[in-house]
Amino acid sequence: MKYNFTLRPWTTADLNSLVTFADNTEIAKFMTDQFPHPYTSENGKAFIAAASKGSPLHIFAIDINGQAAGGIGIHPQTDIHRKNAELGYWLAEPFWGHGIITKAVLQIVDYGFKNFEINRIFARPFGTNKASQRVLEKAGFKLEARFEKSLFKNGEYIDELVYAVRRKQ
């Protein structure tokens, strides 16, 4: 099945779909602990409020068939890292394996370079998240580093990878 999607701002109307899709251990296991599990309505309300701030916006809903079925964001850094932005994303499990995230990453990278004074966008997938690594590679990101057993998640140490793409000169 082919799904069409759009990236759009989060709204309060997204709360039910956000909580329904985000409350999934298969998603949470590859996210930082800032992405709670279980994922509650209170978590969703706080996230939507935070995601709606900023100009230009930098956190978007991945809309599939009129519902927020994931999220993607570009997070500009500060201080000496100010020419960099971190990429983060997740997608509802029913939509995995359809190429949606790769296309969404390509769109947000383009948006990031057009709207922020950055030269590099990086992502930090877990070493155990092979699907995310493939997404980044398909979107033109290069593996820059592997930090062995530097993350502690769900009672175990796992590798942290750093992938990046740079502004085309």
Q: What is the CATH number of the domain that holds 76?
A: 3.40.630.30
Give the C-alpha separation, 64 to 88, whole Å: 18
What integer pLDDT is reported at residue 94 of this predicted model?
95
Mapped onto helix, strand or coil, the DSSP state of residue 154 is: coil
Give the C-alpha separation, 118 to 18, whole Å: 29
pLDDT tens-digit readout, 105-117: 999 999 999 999 9
Residues of the chain with pLDDT under 70: none
What integer pLDDT is reported at residue 1 of this predicted model?
73
End-to-end CA distance of the chain: 37
β-partners of residue 85 are 76, 121
What integer pLDDT is reported at residue 64 of this predicted model?
97
Number of domains the chain is built from: 1
Alpha-carbon separation of residue 46 from 30, 41, 73, 84, 117 (angstroms): 21, 9, 16, 26, 28
pTM value is: 0.94
- With beta carbons less than 8 A apart as the criterion, state whether 93 and 69 touch: no
- With beta carbons less than 8 A apart as the criterion, state whether 64 and 5 touch: yes
Give the C-alpha separation, 63 to 70, whole Å: 7
Per the structure, the complete domain to which residue 39 belongs is given by 5-166
